[in-house]
Amino acid sequence: MAARPSAAVTPDVWLDGIVSTFEEALRALPKEGEWLRLSLPGPSFAQAMAAMASLSSTGPACFWRSREGEYLLSAGEACVLEASGESRFASIRQAAAQVEARIEARTLAGAEPRPPRFLGGFAFESALRPDPRWASWAPARFALPRWTYEIDAEGQSTLSLSIAREELERGERARAIEEVRTWFKATPQGSEALAMHRLHASPRESELAAWSALVEGAQGALQPGRLEKVVLARRSEISLSSSVDPSLLWRRAVERFPSCTQFVFRSRHSSFVGASPERLVRKQGATLWTEALAGSAAVGEAEGLQRSEKNRYEHELVRAYVVDRLRSRGLRVHFAAAPRLWVLPNVAHLHTPIRSEVAPEAHVLEWVELLHPTPALCGLPVDEARAWLRAHEGLERGWYGGPVGWFDGAGNGEFAVALRCALLEASRATLYAGAGIVAASRAADEYVETEMKMAAMAALFEAEARPTLKGESAKLRRASDAEGWDANALHPHD
């Protein structure tokens, strides 16, 4: 965290010193480049959250927390990158490199130097079909935030401003100076209450019939060796009695699902909120982490999940795909011989952590492109399953199932698969969930699975917290949610 003033220095004097240093740095225009990036030690997390409420109440913002307890908050946008089509991953990477080359970075007051981060995500598909829900979202969108607040795994916080040269030339320093005061002087607020009601308290017969027909159609298309699995998605709506602050949902998600990755990406018209249990990829230096997450059951049935032939088969399809994709790039892959049981508050999964060593200069987006979409969200083989979904699913997934996260100028970054998520609008939230369909699937069971997954997000809208796990299930959760890698459980498979 930021260094606090000593007993001999009052907080106001300390803050005046910070602001004076910041103001002096703003007076010096970038010698080269289009953006100036200033970094200084950050305020407390409570102050940062209060500042976010003040600085980004309606504009673009991001809230992110990784499984490892790293936080990223952003307010405003200094630069926006958008792309579509099959080349969108490369287009974003190239555009970001051009922006990074035109940033002049300075550190103030002993702050740790950190490369600029771009925050955003990709839609499930390379193009979006007409759907008013997703009208203001792009197939690929990332922003260099105006303000970035981050806390690393060691608890060190940094606050950074990225500001355009033209803004400084217009003499708009006063706004930035007032904003930096807000970051350190904002008063933390109390918790808020939410009121909501679900449009459909129980599934309608027509909805169940349509789902059953879709499952039947997918199973009719399955052929050994040609199409082994298809992942179907559906959505459900929540009607809100008043507008909801997405940061409140994010804070609740952090509290209730600490072993997941919690995120909010807010545009001017809607917010994408989630607590994803699935990491697509994380790259730091020469180490790459990913995983296979497939095979699901209710918490009360968790102990039988590893004995389920259908779920073990579904999980093995995903694990084999991820491992084969990494090996196709010549990587040595490490993973456990058998999946572990991962029990979350509302659902249990089969989970296999996977790790590889990569070239340090490789960019995380290269691996995002390689692995998206996984069979856990699409099917197998991926190309055949994707073609079937495009022709028959009839649902615009938007960013559901897509990679969301961040990357930096060093090519490091982290992306989660956008699961357990909702698109939040003024008076409506649309929840998304999917289920893997194989020959042994039963439509009713898969429907219940999607409801169970949606319940995780729906519960965040309730005024009172739902009870979580009790008894033996709680023991399972504590055992399976342990953080970190078990070095003895991971073996190289060449």
- Cβ atoms of 123 and 88 within 8 Å: the answer is no
215: nearest Cα among 401, 389, 415: 389
Contacts (Cβ under 8 Å, ≥6 apart) of 92: 81, 83, 118, 140, 142, 365
Coil vs helix vs strand at 261:
strand
| CA angle (329 as vertex; 328, 335 as ends), nearest 5 | 75
Which residue reads 């992942």 in tokens? 231
The answer, yes or no, to whether the previous bond of 373 is cis (omega within 30 of 0) is yes
The angle at the Cα of 85, spanning 81 to 88, to the nearest 5 degrees, equals 40
Annotation marks residue 207 as catalytic? no
**Greatest pairwise CA separation for the chain in angstroms:** 76
**Other CB atoms closer than 10 Å to residue 378's CB: what's the count?**
25
In what helix (H) or strand (E) does residue 140 lie, and over which residues does it extend? strand 140-151
Q: What letter represents residue 166's amino acid?
A: E
Task: Choose, from 100, 179, 228, 229, the residue flagged as catalytic.
Answer: 229
CA atoms within 13 A on the CB side of 369: 17
Known catalytic membership, residue 112:
no
Q: Which of 100, 125, 278, 449 is catalytic?
A: 278
Catalytic positions, written as ranges: 229, 278
